[in-house]
Homo-oligomer: A and B are copies of this chain.
Amino acid sequence: MERIVRKYRGKGFKLTPQRIAILKFLEGNTNHPTADDIYTEIKKKYPTVSFATVYNTVQALRDRGELLEITIDPERKHFDPNPSAHHHIMCTGCGKIGDVFFDYSESLGLPEEVTREFAVTGNHIDFYGICSSCRAKTS
């Protein structure tokens, strides 16, 4: 909490109670929550919180480069409060998303017919797999 206040105070980012609750929920969270996950959690403490607040806050964080929007799940967006370049893996059984911290950039050279048309600025790898608990269930 003190850390959060220190980080955001006086940076043109108004620290409201709802925002602090969202920031606390996200800090160190590696579950890749959806907007609904965040909303449901914050609602416990602030029953009148609205989705607009959740979306406004994640957008403000994204604009500041402090949160990533993840597209690995075709059904809905997930958010990752760790903005450092990394990749993700999703279980095709239960939808669980894990982080992949490994720098593949040296290996991701593009064919010339692509670089002729696109100036590449970034990349992100989606891995798919089956998590251990889903494997335990089906075997």
Residue pairs across A and B with Cβ atoms less than 8 A apart, 6 shown, are: A71-B126, A98-B117, A98-B118, A118-B127, A118-B130, A123-B126
Cα–Cα distance between A132 and B73 once the two chains are bound (Å): 29
- Min CB distance A75 to B, Å, is 10
Q: Would you list which residues of chain A between 97 and 133 have a CB under 8 Å from chain B?
A: 98, 100-102, 104, 107-108, 110-111, 114, 116-132
Does A74 make an interface contact (CB < 8 A)? yes
How many residues on chain A are close to B (CB under 8 Å)? 37
Does A56 make an interface contact (CB < 8 A)? no
What residue in chain B is nearest A128 (Cβ atoms)? B122
Excluding A104-B108, A123-B127, 12 further A-B contacts by CB distance (< 8 Å) are A71-B73, A100-B110, A102-B111, A104-B107, A107-B107, A117-B132, A118-B127, A118-B130, A119-B129, A121-B128, A124-B125, A125-B126
With A74-B69, A102-B110, A108-B107 in contact, do A123 and B121 touch (Cβ < 8 Å)?
A: no
Does A77 make an interface contact (CB < 8 A)? yes
